[in-house]
Structure formats: structure tokens, C-alpha cells
Amino acid sequence: MYNLVVFGAPGSGKGTQSARLIDEYGLYHISTGELLRDHIARDTELGRLANTYISKGNLIPDELMIDILSHTLDSNPETARGVIFDGFPRTIEQAKALNDMLAKRGSKVHAVVGLEVDDAELVDRLLKRGQESGRSDDNLETINRRLKVYNDQTAPLRDFYTSEGKYHGIKGSGAIDDIFNAIKSALLPTRG
């Protein structure tokens, strides 16, 4: 059982590195962004509600997001073997709730990988992604809003997890393989 949080600004490479880490460690992947986009694509009630926040670059309210995550853990028994949390938590309140949820299941967050990329490169990457992904939130206005939300609400998690002794900051620019190798080296001592 090994639970890993992959943390970083929009465009920092969370999805790309999570996909590799799943293959490497055989963990269950929970991407809250993908989960919400799936609801939007299926036009569910949750999808319509989520889209009102996502399209503006704002976060889904904590209470709702925590409920969704708790439900995802309960309804997927494979999560018991360990999870990569990609895009969750994004606030201190979510991080505390995650600690509680895992403690109730007799587990914990084992490590947090923080992908560190400067703002100019993030904007560049997100604009490029927007041309290919068709994501409604990859346009300049929403990107700027998402980066502000990240700096105000999500970046404080770095101190939260540093004080828990779990934070591993990794330079998130350069070749994908080099970043992946740096993550694996940093996590090696946490793998037990």
C-alpha cells in the first residue's frame, strides 16, 4: 500500500508523470480534473455544476470535491492497493480531509511530489495544449486565473506537506524521462 500525491501548477506535467508512475508502481490513478471532465462530457448534473467553476478557472468547492473523492475511494476497491492522487488536494482543507479519509482506511499519504515549473513556461505549455486538447479552460484569460488560484490556494500545500516531512520538490522542466528519473530517485527512500 503506497499513496502518492502528485502536486503542481496547471501545466506542470502532473498528468504525464502520473501516467508513468502508474506503470512503474502499479497504483490506481485518481485525477480529479479528468473525473470532472468525464462528467462534463456525459452531461451529468455534477458535470454541469462543475463546468460553471472549471470554465472560469475556479476550484470546485471543497465540500463537494471531498465528497466526490470519498465516493471514488469507496466505489473502487482497487484503491486499497495504493493511489496516485493527481490534482487533489488543491487546498489545505482538502489535504486535511485526505489525511482523515486515509486514516479511516488504516492508511496515509506516503509521499508528495511537487513539480516545479516557472510561470512563463506554464503559460506557454497550456496555450499549446489548448490548441490540441480543446479544453475550455486552456485559454489565456482562464489560464491566468488558474495560475492565480494555484498561487493563492494550492501553493500553501508545499509548506503543509514539508512540515509533515513528505514534500519532494522536483524541477519540472526539461526532458520528460529526466524528470521521471528524478522523481523515482526522490521517492526511493519512501517506498519501504
Q: Which of 5, 8, 9, 10 contacts ligand AMP by CB under 6 A?
A: 10
Closest residue to ligand AMP, Cβ-based?
33
- Please identify, using beta-carbon distances, which residue of 33 and 114 lies nearer to ligand AMP: 33
Q: Is 160 in the site for ligand AMP (CB under 6 A)?
A: no
Exposed (0-12), middle (13-18) or buried (19+): which is 55, by Cβ within 10 Å? middle
Q: Is 90 a catalytic residue?
A: yes
Q: Is 46 in the site for ligand AMP (CB under 6 A)?
A: no
Q: Is 114 in the site for ligand AMP (CB under 6 A)?
A: no
Q: Is 145 a catalytic residue?
A: no
Amino acid letter, residue 82: G
Q: From CA 177, how far away is CA 182, in angstroms rounded?
A: 9
Residues 19-38 that bind ligand AMP (CB under 6 A): 32-33, 36
Cα 126–58–130 angle (5° rounding)?
Answer: 20
Q: From CA 126, how far away is CA 132, in angstroms rounded?
A: 10
Q: Is 182 in the site for ligand AMP (CB under 6 A)?
A: no
Residue with cell 471532465: 37
Strands (E), 19-146: 28-31, 83-86, 111-116
Q: Is 8 in the site for ligand AMP (CB under 6 A)?
A: no
- Please identify, using beta-carbon distances, which residue of 5 and 170 lies nearer to ligand AMP: 5
Q: From CA 6, how far away is CA 26, in angstroms rounded?
A: 15
Residue 2 Cβ vs ligand AMP, minimum distance, rounded to whole Å = 20
Q: Is 20 a catalytic residue?
A: no
- Write down the catalytic residue from 20, 56, 96, 135: 135
Counting runs of H as helices and runs of E as strands, what totals does the chain give?
9, 5
Where do contacts with ligand AMP occur on this chain (CB under 6 A)? 10, 32-33, 36, 53-54, 58-60, 65, 87-90, 94, 137, 146
**Residues involved in catalysis:** 14, 90, 129, 135, 146
